[in-house]
Structure 1
Amino acid sequence: MINNVRRITIFTGNLGSGKTELAINFALWLKKKHQRVGIVDLDIINPYFRTRIMKDYLEKMGLRVICPPGKLAGADVPALSPAILGVLEDEQGMGVFDVGGDDIGATALGRFKPYLPEGAYHMYFVANACRPFTGKPAGIVKMLRSVEKASRLKVTALVSNTNLGLATDPDTVMAGHAVVEEAARQLQLPVAFMAVKSDLAPEMTRRVPQVPVFPVDLRMLPPWLRE
């Protein structure tokens, strides 16, 4: 499904799933193919790992970054920029949405349902089996359904993104991928792709040839690891 990109791509998932990192990498990947790419920060849950903290860097890379302006950028309030509609209505541009970590965050996305008719977008639920609430298929199914209910939008596929940050190894990825695949089977949804650190991509492509592998460069590092 990574070969079937739609104009709007939405990443959602629980806290710690890695969806923000993935949304940033996906938007930068799209920028190599499209002139206009916007990334929308709809994360009102996590005050530390938000797209908005990378705004200056991403704009230098050519992305249009939509997030609350000024002092509101650091606030834990759903301050939604009117520029979001510009991304949704720009037929010549691509849009990537980073949506808050659970059903509460997904409620903000629901405000834009009239602009997201079925078939016009991909909504990916990013699943990390190393996180407490998505360590088993039942947890993934439960959280995905709560996001769908809150957003009033349908998830179109799962993304297998099991990781332990810098400590991730191939065996961890494989164990988590089995959990994600079982959840996808229960949900009758495809696994769009497996996201892994760039250095693991060749190994995972060899181990899981039936699923596209999307290499991720870690940019959303915690404050103590940033330069």
Structure 2
Amino acid sequence: MTTPITNHSPVGLRIEGAVALVTGANRGLGRRFAQHLLDRGAARVYATARRPETVDLAGVTSLRLDVTDEEEVRSAAAAAGDVTLLVNNAGVTHFTDLVTADLAAVRAEMETNFWGTLSVVRAFAPVLASNGGGAILNVLSAQSWHAAPGNNGYHVGKAAQWALTNGVRLELAEQGTLVTGLHLGAVDTDFSASYSGPKGDPDVPVRAGLDGIEAGTAEVLSDDWSAHVKKSLAADPTHLYDAIRAGVI
């Protein structure tokens, strides 16, 4: 039996007055999301991390959350029962190739990037429903759509997270929850410290993602590279991968 798809889309969520929870908020993009949410008038920001004592941002409520730990996920959802905006930012890369890397490292990337995100979404979906629907912002990547030598485990995890985002968008539409995917290329945070190519300003995708939430946008392409890669999906993939092998990434 096919589940009927609603013919309406959830509306945007105003950041001012929202109650937000950000995963992986002790550094990098997560910390910036928490700061921007405060700056834009969020009523409360839960900043989560595996080690909450490492959250050093004034004005937030820190919570312990390892997204791969089911008990911690349930505890976070119970502690943050007033959340109206969930920002799934937590992610990892172990710079793995699929054929030659330690399989445990590849599995660990999937465990955080896909299974961890899904676990958090499942735990907070009822919370969002009870608070009027709210919104979810999943921080994805241009690598949701392309492989890259030395980072293919991350690509697979982000591709799965993109598919997850599309799936839960349909599943949660009936309860009025907006689900937005944010795609970005490399930005200048410690997450991409070992990457020697060009890096963008991390505040740009953060602003774009939150703007997308307010506008009710399903998918945000926050830079030219993400837009280029998305467009290339309709073309012969040879052209994209010739450019990637040539270092034009």
Higher percent of residues as strand:
1
Computing the radius of gyration from Cα coordinates, the structure with the larger value is 2
